[in-house]
C-alpha cells in the first residue's frame, strides 16, 4: 500500500494498516507534523454531542478508545478532558442537533442557562435566553503530538515513512495495482490511499467537489485572573451566533493563551498560497471573543492560518471513487475531522483488508448523492 499524505489522517491510516500486517510506504511532501496543512495549532476539540449528525457518534466513541490506546502505547499526552459547551439559541441548529444526538445515543449532558454558566465557569458569559449544553467527557487533543504518535506507531509496526517527497502523479499499472511517480523516483503498489488533505484534488479528481477554505486562529491572554482560563476552570466552548459565523474558544492548556477562532468564516484559497493573518481580522476576533470571555482583551498577537477541505454536504469522503477502484480516497474532512483520525485509520484498514467495515460510513461514500445548493455542516 502507498499512503499519500502523512498528516492527521494519513498517519493514522499508515499506523492501522501496518498494525494489521500490510506493507506500507507512506509519503509526505513536507515533514509532519507541520504547519502547512490542516493538523496544527496545538488543539483540536473532541466531543460526542454531534450537532452535525448523530451518525458520527459511534465513530467518535471508537475514536476515544483508540486515542486512549495510542496515548498509552506511545506514552504521549494526547487528550485532556476539559468538558465542553455548545452554546446557542434554544431553537438553533447547534443546540437542537447536540441534544438530538444526546437523546439518540443516551449521552450524558447537562443543559445550562446563562446564570448557570456564569456561576460554574467564572470567565464565561452566555447571553440571556441562550442555552449551553455541557458535556463533561469532551476534551482537547494535541494534533501535533497525535500525528507524531501515529507516525511512531506506523514505523514501529514496520511502515516505511518518507518525508520531503511529493507524489507528482500516479497511474494504473498494466498488470493491476498502481505506479506512483514522486520527486525522488517511481514506486509500485497494489493500492493507493490518498490522504493529501487540502492538496487531495491535485493527486486525484474527487467525485465529491472539494473546497479549500482558509481559517485563522488567535491566542489571546486575559487581562486578569489567568487561573480562570485554565482547563480545570474553563471548558472549551462552541457558540452558534445566528447570522454571524460560529465562534469557539479553547482554554489555556499550556500557559500560551486562550485559543479563539471563527468557524467556516474563511475564503477559498489555493493551499500553496495562503494569505497571512491580518490585524483587522484579529481585531474582529478579539471583539467577538470578549462578548463570551470579557476579561480576554489582552491580545497576545499570536495567530496562524489553517485549512479546511470542505465538501458540499459537510460530510467526509472515505472510500473508493467509482472511476478508480485501486484508490482509497480519504479527504474532505470539512473542518471537523481531527477527532476521528484513528477510527478513520481503522475504517480504511477494514475496507482494504476485509473489504467492509462494521461502521456505517455510507454518508462518506465518494459516489453519494449531493445537495444541489452549496453548504457545509
Ligand atoms: C483551524 C482548524 C481548527 C480545527 N478544529 C478542529 C477541531 O476542533 N476538531 C476536529 O475534529 N477537527 C478540527 N479541524 C479539522 C481537522 O484538523 C482536519 O479535518 C484534519 O486535520 C484533516 O487532516 P488531513 O490528514 O486530511 O490533512 P493534513 O493533516 O493537512 O494532511 C495532509 C498531508 O498530505 C500531504 N500531501 C499533500 N499533497 C501531497 C503530495 N502530492 N505528496 C505527498 N504528500 C502530500 C501534506 O503535506 C499533509 O501533510 C480543524 C481544522 C482547522 C484548520
Q: Is 33 in the same domain as 182?
A: yes
Cβ neighbours of residue 119 closer than 8 Å, sequence gap 6 or more: none
Q: Which of 2, 246, 337, 345 to mutate to test the pocket of ligand 1 (most atoms within 8 A of CB)?
A: 337
Please state the atom number of ligand 1 nearest to the C-alpha of residue 32: 49
Please state the atom number of ligand 1 nearest to the C-alpha of residue 336: 12
Determine, yes or no, domain membership for 255. yes
Residue 331, C-alpha cell as written in the block = 479527504
Measured between alpha carbons, how far is 140 from 143 in angstroms, rounded to an integer? Answer: 9
Q: Is 156 in the same domain as 181?
A: yes
- Residue 223 DSSP one-character state: S
Question: How many separate domains does the chain show?
Answer: 2
Out of 310, 338, 372, a domain closes at: 310
Determine, yes or no, domain membership for 286. yes
Q: Is 246 in the same domain as 350?
A: no
Residue 325, C-alpha cell as written in the block = 477502484
Interface ipTM: 0.99
Out of 267, 288, 310, a domain closes at: 310
Determine, yes or no, domain membership for 67. no
Q: Is 154 in the same domain as 284?
A: no
Q: Is 295 in the same domain as 338?
A: no
Determine, yes or no, domain membership for 70. no
Q: Is 198 in the same domain as 216?
A: no
Q: In which element (H, E) is residue 97 found?
A: helix 93-105
CA angle 250, 251, 256 (to 5 degrees): 105
Q: Is 272 in the same domain as 354?
A: no
Instruction: Determine which residue's CA is closest to atom 37 belonging to ligand 1.
Output: 196
Q: Is 117 in the same domain as 157?
A: no
pLDDT tens, per residue, the chain with 377 residues: 999 999 999 999 999 999 999 999 999 999 999 999 999 999 999 999 999 999 999 999 999 999 999 999 999 999 999 999 999 999 999 999 999 999 999 999 999 999 999 999 999 999 999 999 999 999 999 999 999 999 999 999 999 999 999 999 999 999 999 999 999 999 999 999 999 999 999 999 999 999 999 999 999 999 889 999 999 999 999 999 999 999 999 999 999 899 999 999 999 999 999 999 999 999 999 999 999 999 987 766 689 999 999 999 999 999 999 999 999 999 999 999 999 999 999 999 999 999 999 999 999 999 999 987 544 44
Determine, yes or no, domain membership for 301. yes
Out of 264, 285, 310, a domain closes at: 310
- Please tell me the distance between residue 245's alpha carbon and the centre of ligand 1 in angstroms: 21
Q: Where are the beta strands (DSSP E) in the chain?
A: 2-4, 25-28, 44-46, 79-81, 84-88, 110-112, 131-135, 139-141, 160-163, 167-172, 178-182, 186-189, 192-194, 211-221, 236-241, 244-250, 258-262, 298-310, 317-319, 327-331
Q: Is 264 in the same domain as 280?
A: yes
Determine, yes or no, domain membership for 344. yes
Determine, yes or no, domain membership for 64. no
Secondary structure (3-state) at 167: strand
40 lines ligand 1 (CB under 6 A): no
The enclosing domain of 173 has a CATH number of: 3.50.50.60
Q: Is 137 in the same domain as 152?
A: no
Sign of CA dihedral 112, 116, 122, 126: positive
Q: Is 120 in the same domain as 221?
A: yes
Stated length of the chain = 377
The enclosing domain of 238 has a CATH number of: 3.30.9.10
Range of the domain at 164: 2-42+143-208+313-364
Determine, yes or no, domain membership for 372. no
343 lines ligand 1 (CB under 6 A): no
Q: Is 158 in the same domain as 304?
A: no
**Residue 200, Cβ density class (10 Å: 0-12 exposed, 13-18 middle, ≥19 buried):** buried
- Please tell me the distance between residue 193's alpha carbon and the centre of ligand 1 in angstroms: 15
Amino acid at each position: 500500500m502507498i499512503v499519500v499524505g502523512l498528516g492527521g489522517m494519513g498517519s493514522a491510516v499508515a499506523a492501522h494498516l501496518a498494525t494489521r500486517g500490510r506493507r506500507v510506504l507512506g509519503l509526505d511532501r513536507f515533514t509532519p507534523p507541520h504547519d502547512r496543512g490542516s493538523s496544527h495549532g496545538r488543539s483540536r476539540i473532541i466531543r460526542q454531542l454531534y450537532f452535525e449528525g448523530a451518525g458520527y457518534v459511534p465513530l467518535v466513541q471508537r475514536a476515544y478508545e483508540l486515542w486512549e490506546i495510542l496515548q498509552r502505547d506511545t506514552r504521549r499526552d494526547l487528550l485532556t478532558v476539559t468538558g465542553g459547551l455548545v452554546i446557542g439559541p434554544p431553537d438553533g441548529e447547534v443546540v437542537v442537533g447536540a441534544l438530538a444526538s444526546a437523546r439518540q445515543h443516551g449521552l450524558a449532558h447537562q443543559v445550562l442557562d446563562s446564570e448557570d454558566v456564569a456561576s460554574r465557569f467564572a470567565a464565561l458569559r452566555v447571553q440571556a435566553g441562550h442555552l449551553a449544553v455541557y458535556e463533561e467527557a469532551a476534551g482537547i487533543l494535541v494534533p501535533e503530538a497525535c500525528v507524531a504518535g501515529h507516525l511512531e506507531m506506523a514505523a514501529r509496526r514496520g511502515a516505511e515513512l518518507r518525508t520531503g517527497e511529493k507524489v507528482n502523479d500516479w497511474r494504473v499499472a498494466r498488470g493491476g495495482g498502481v505506479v506512483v511517480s514522486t520527486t525522488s523516483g517511481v514506486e509500485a503498489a497494489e493500492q493507493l490511499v490518498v490522504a493529501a488533505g487540502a492538496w487531495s484534488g491535485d493527486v486525484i479528481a474527487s467525485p465529491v467537489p472539494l473546497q479549500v477554505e482558509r481559517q485563522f486562529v488567535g491566542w489571546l491572554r486575559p487581562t486578569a485572573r489567568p487561573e480562570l482560563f485554565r482547563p480545570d476552570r474553563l471548558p472549551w466552548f462552541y457558540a452558534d451566533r445566528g447570522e454571524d459565523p460560529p465562534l469557539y474558544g479553547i482554554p489555556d492548556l499550556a500557559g500560551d493563551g486562550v485559543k479563539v477562532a471563527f468557524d467556516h468564516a474563511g475564503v477559498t484559497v489555493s493551499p500553496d498560497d495562503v494569505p497571512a493573518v491580518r490585524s483587522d481580522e484579529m481585531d474582529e476576533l478579539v471583539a467577538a471573543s470578549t462578548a463570551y470571555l470579557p476579561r480576554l482583551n489582552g491580545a497576545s498577537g499570536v495567530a496562524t492560518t489553517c485549512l479546511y477541505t470542505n465538501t458540499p454536504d459537510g460530510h467526509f469522503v472515505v472510500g473508493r471513487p467509482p472511476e478508480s477502484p485501486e484508490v482509497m480516497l480519504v479527504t474532505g474532512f470539512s473542518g471537523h475531522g481531527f477527532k476521528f483520525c484513528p477510527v478513520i485509520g481503522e475504517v480504511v484498514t477494514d475496507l482494504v483488508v476485509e473489504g467492509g467495515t462494521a461502521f456505517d460510513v455510507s454518508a462518506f461514500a465518494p459516489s453519494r448523492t449531493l445537495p444541489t445548493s452549496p453548504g457545509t455542516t
